[in-house]
Structure 1
Amino acid sequence: MNEIRWGIIGCGNVTEVKSGPGLQKANGSRLTAVMRRNGALAEDYARRHQVPKWYDRAEALISDPEVDAIYIATPPSSHMPYVLDAAKAGKPVYVEKPMAMNAAECETMMQACHEAGVPLFIAYYRRALPRFLKVKEWLEDGAIGDIRTVLTTHLAKTHPRDLSGDAEVWRVQPELSGGGYFVDVGSHTLDLLDFLLGPIAEARGFASNQEGIYAAEDIVSGCYTLESGAQGVGTWCFNAGMNLEQNEIIGSKGRIVFSTFAEAPIRLIRESGIEELFIDHPAHIQQPLIQTIVDELLGKGHCPSRPESAMRTSRVMDAMLQNYYAKSNS
């Protein structure tokens, strides 16, 4: 095999620019089919993106002999069922983040793919982006010495779509998303820190709903200890009066400051001075990670976003949200 033919389940907004074109443009990769329950929308996507086939049933796409691998781009509530179906069909799976509704579902998915001998990859694509690879290089070179602590601040204004009935509102419906924006976007930061610094050994948190617009939490404060012994704290607030998002990794000889989401410079700050680099994101932000998946499936490389690390991120989120959903379900 010298090419991977992809099928997408759930060709919504994330597939328009971030991922879908990456499946078409990665070397050794081709997008063959798409599926959406609304057949008219699936047909429209296929026409606009020059995809040969479209379906309105996932089982039809999964069973298509011209689809070698499945990309699942639906809300988290359907990740596990679709992964299990793809595993039964013996097809590799690339699933959107967060991996599932919780860590228990992640474990079920991992077990099913292991038993079927099917590779499973997760869309924590920041692990393959050049700017974060540079941060990792600084850390591995000892640029800031031994890591002491990590500070994460993620503040965002209430999003108008949460008040308007926009379809994107599923992101704050816990029965569909597993939580609120902390689960949707905070997962990226937690996974990135796992990639840069190693696994989190223990985490605790407090979550609440301050504004009362939706059922999910809108603020989370958490603390954790890394296996390395370093400690970290974070605040994710999605009802603030401003937008501010950054991470600060502090070591014995300096610190590194960077944003998970904003296209802002990464900064290495030491007594000798400040090194500031601006590294552009690619046009299709998932394409570098998709390339690593294709290369691995073709026997030419290794993807850095594994189900084991994605499950660790889900465990951390479960721990930080435990108090909120225990109260909600009592």
Structure 2
Amino acid sequence: MESVRWGILSTARIGLEKVIPAMQKGRATTVVALGSRDGVRGREAAAKLGIPTAYDSYESLLADPAVEAIYNPLPNHLHVPWSIKAMEAGKHVLCEKPVALTADEAQQLVDAEKRTGKRVAEAFMVRHHPQWLRARSLVAEGKIGEARLIRTIFAYSNADPANIRNQAEIGGGGLYDIGCYAIATARFLFGAEPLRVMASVQRDPVMKVDRLTSGLIEFPDGRQLVFSCATQLTARQEVEILGTKGRVQVKVPFNADPAKPTEIVIDDARDLYAGGAVSERFDPCDQYTLQVDAFSEAIRQDKPFDYPVADAVKNMRIIDALLRSETSGRWETP
């Protein structure tokens, strides 16, 4: 199969440090160009990464007929407008999360997809990692009985006001940045959409972004996600799925090092000291590579992608509801 030719929209850090190197390892993906508003920075980044073509504007990148697909890691408030511009220029788009700032904005991408015939998807790479696929299969098979509770923690420390994650007016804050993972993975594991949500939000008094958000999300049949995401606490990641006959723990659920093995724990809960726990280890892999290759293969083979942009709209509806709950102090319906 001929690989899909990709262009990179901007020199965003996540692209330069994680996603582009991962894409370059792909079997179905070739990075052929990079566009930057800073021509010097763009050319330096392209040279360092071995990307053959560098453009000094986003528009020039989108006009390149050799580019078939665009990876969009721009700041959150630019995800929708530039993804639409890319689709209108005849490119498929893989857009970083969150795909938009509201569900209504995300719906614009659905409309653009129908109008242009080009595909767009949200980049939740974890759903392609073998450890997550195994966790989902264990839940589906009833290995831990009936899975009723997912407990998720995702935290890091970043109080730099110059960092885009701390700029409220462009979509900064913990819920947009990392809380979205807790929501997406709970939907992935339960295979269902929530009925109602409630949030407790603590905002930075100066930057106004949410620095600690906790949510309670109720799914059908009484299943729940309880999560906390924080941007000014010690770094921590953990996901635990509790069922009626055991539990599954994903030890490093989100930022798995591509050079290190990953591990999940399956515990029959015979005691509180994990006396019945066994570990399953997974060989090192790059979840970004797996994600982009899956999207490239869907493009080249003209087959459905497992996570179309309509899925991103559903995730945004839940984030919208959590933010409404912050204001109302009540349960809200997505």
Instruction: Report the TM-score, using the length of structure 1 for normalisation.
Output: 0.88
Which whole-Å CA distance do the structure 1 matches of 2:31 and 2:11 have between them? 12
Which whole-Å CA distance do the structure 2 matches of 1:251 and 1:93 have between them? 37
Equivalent in the alignment of 1:199 = 192
Equivalent in the alignment of 1:116 = 116
3-state SS of paired residue (2:100): coil
- Work out whether residues 219 and 236 of structure 1, in 8 Å CA contact, stay in contact via their aligned partners in 2: yes
Aligned-partner residue type, residue 312 of structure 1: K
The more displaced of 140-149 and 223-232 is 223-232
CA-CA distance at 1:293 after TM superposition:
0.8
Q: Are residues 1:171 and 2:165 paired?
A: yes
Aligned-partner residue type, residue 2 of structure 2: N
CA-CA distance at 1:236 after TM superposition:
2.2
3-state SS of paired residue (1:14): helix
Which whole-Å CA distance do the structure 2 matches of 1:209 and 1:308 have between them? 30
Equivalent in the alignment of 1:27 = 27
> In 2 relative to 1, CA 74–289 (structure 1 residues): closer, same or farther, beyond 3 Å?
same
- Work out whether residues 11 and 36 of structure 1, in 8 Å CA contact, stay in contact via their aligned partners in 2: yes
Equivalent in the alignment of 1:243 = 235
Residue among 262, 266, 269 paired with 1:268: 266
Equivalent in the alignment of 2:15 = 15
Residue among 233, 255, 264 paired with 2:247: 255
Residue among 308, 312, 316 paired with 1:310: 312
Which whole-Å CA distance do the structure 2 matches of 1:234 and 1:30 have between them? 37
CA-CA distance at 1:307 after TM superposition:
1.2
Aligned-partner residue type, residue 105 of structure 2: E
> In 2 relative to 1, CA 261–221 (structure 1 residues): closer, same or farther, beyond 3 Å?
same
CA-CA distance at 1:278 after TM superposition:
3.1
3-state SS of paired residue (1:209): strand
Which whole-Å CA distance do the structure 1 matches of 2:232 and 2:79 have between them? 28
3-state SS of paired residue (2:6): strand
Superposed, 1:1-330 pairs within 5 Å as: 2-156=2-156, 158-159=157-158, 162-163=159-160, 165-166=161-162, 169-177=163-171, 179-209=172-202, 211-227=204-220, 229-240=222-233, 242-258=234-250, 259-261=252-254, 263=256, 265-271=263-269, 273-282=276-285, 284-299=286-301, 302-324=304-326
> In 2 relative to 1, CA 262–55 (structure 1 residues): closer, same or farther, beyond 3 Å?
closer
Aligned-partner residue type, residue 292 of structure 2: I
> In 2 relative to 1, CA 57–243 (structure 1 residues): closer, same or farther, beyond 3 Å?
closer
- Work out whether residues 129 and 281 of structure 1, in 8 Å CA contact, stay in contact via their aligned partners in 2: no
CA-CA distance at 1:252 after TM superposition:
1.7
CA-CA distance at 1:132 after TM superposition:
0.9
CA-CA distance at 1:124 after TM superposition:
0.3
Which whole-Å CA distance do the structure 1 matches of 2:134 and 2:79 have between them? 31
- Work out whether residues 152 and 247 of structure 1, in 8 Å CA contact, stay in contact via their aligned partners in 2: yes
> In 2 relative to 1, CA 74–325 (structure 1 residues): closer, same or farther, beyond 3 Å?
farther
3-state SS of paired residue (2:316): helix
Deviations, residues 206-257 of structure 1 (Å, cap 9, x unaligned): 34335424221112121112245412222223334x4333222111211112
Which whole-Å CA distance do the structure 2 matches of 1:13 and 1:294 have between them? 22
CA-CA distance at 1:281 after TM superposition:
4.6
- Work out whether residues 154 and 246 of structure 1, in 8 Å CA contact, stay in contact via their aligned partners in 2: yes
- Work out whether residues 168 and 207 of structure 2, in 8 Å CA contact, stay in contact via their aligned partners in 1: no
> In 2 relative to 1, CA 139–206 (structure 1 residues): closer, same or farther, beyond 3 Å?
closer
> In 2 relative to 1, CA 322–278 (structure 1 residues): closer, same or farther, beyond 3 Å?
same
RMSD, aligned CA: 2.3
Instruction: Report the TM-score, using the length of structure 2 for normalisation.
Output: 0.87
Which whole-Å CA distance do the structure 2 matches of 1:93 and 1:155 have between them? 28
Deviations, residues 22-43 of structure 1 (Å, cap 9, x unaligned): 3222113211110111111111
Aligned-partner residue type, residue 186 of structure 2: L
Aligned length: 318
3-state SS of paired residue (2:17): coil
Structure 1 vs Structure 2: percent identity of aligned residues?
25
CA-CA distance at 1:54 after TM superposition:
1.0
